Amino acid sequence: MKQALNSIVGAILIAFTTFAAYTRVHDYQLAKRSEHWPTTLGTIVSHCIHTSSSRYSTSYSPAIKYSYRVNEKDYTSDTVRYPSVRFNKYSQAAEFVSKYPIYSRVSIYYDPANPSLSCLEMSNLNYPDQERTYIISSVALFSFLFILGLACVLRIGLKS
- Report which of 75, 131, 86 is spatially closest to residue 108, judged by C-alpha positions: 75
Output the tens digit of pLDDT for each of the chain's 160 residues. 566 666 676 677 667 776 666 666 667 777 777 888 999 999 999 999 999 988 888 989 999 999 999 999 999 999 998 877 888 899 999 999 999 999 999 999 999 999 999 999 987 655 445 555 666 676 777 677 777 776 766 665 545 4
Overall pTM > 0.85: no
Alpha helices by DSSP H, the chain = 2-34, 90-98, 128-159
- Report which of 30, 29, 32, 47 is spatially closest to residue 118, judged by C-alpha positions: 30
Q: How far apart are CA 138 and CA 124, in angstroms?
A: 15
